[in-house]
């Protein structure tokens, strides 16, 4: 809610002049929040966003869960999001690596026989 800088009367959103004293409303004033501040949430959410390695382990064990958490928390809990995302990524890479090794081993085995 904005207030008139001259007389303190309540100003509705979109209102250009104060109904009480007729002063012009400067839209920049009264809204102290700058655009960037919306993305840096205060301590209430930051305390939850611990970036705990537990989320990484979860992401590693269940890559799908890690992927979902990574997407869901991207804005609200960037550190936890990154932790879960990295865990899921490592899990996928390790799985792919094992699969490739297994595949090479299989090909070598078949071609050797
Ligand atoms: Zn006024």
Convert 59-92 to b/e letters by CB count within 10 Å (16 or more is b). bbebbeebbebbeebeeebeebbbbbbbbbbebe
Between the CA of 21 and the centroid of ligand 1 the distance, in Å, is 4
Q: What is the pLDDT of residue 110?
A: 92
Q: Could you read off the pLDDT of 42-67 as tens digits, one per residue?
A: 555 556 788 889 999 999 999 999 99
Measured CA distances, 24 to 8, 32, 33, 84 (Å): 13, 18, 21, 50
Which regions of the chain are under pLDDT 50? 29-31, 33, 37, 41
Dist. CA 23 → ligand 1 center (Å): 5
Contacts for 11 with CB less than 8 Å, ≥ 6 apart: 1, 2, 3, 4, 18, 25, 30
Interhelix angle 53-61/78-112, rounded to 10 degrees, is 40
User: What pLDDT shows up at residue 76?
Assistant: 92
Q: Measured in angstroms, how far is the CA atom of residue 103 from the centroid of ligand 1?
A: 77
Per-residue pLDDT at 47: 60
pTM: 0.51
What was the pLDDT predicted at 36? 52
Q: Give domain limits for the chain.
A: 1-30, 50-113
């Amino acid at each position: 809610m904005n207030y008139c800088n001259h007389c303190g009367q309540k100003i509705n959103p979109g209102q250009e002049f104060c109904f009480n004293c007729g002063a012009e409303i400067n839209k920049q004033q009264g809204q102290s929040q700058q655009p960037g501040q919306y993305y840096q949430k205060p301590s209430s959410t930051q305390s939850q966003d611990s970036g705990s390695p537990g989320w990484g382990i979860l992401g590693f064990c269940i890559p799908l869960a890690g992927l979902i958490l990574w997407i869901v928390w991207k804005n609200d809990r960037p550190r936890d999001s990154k932790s879960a995302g990295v865990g899921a990524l490592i899990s996928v890479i390790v799985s792919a690596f094992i699969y490739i090794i297994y595949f090479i081993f299989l090909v070598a085995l078949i071609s050797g026989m």
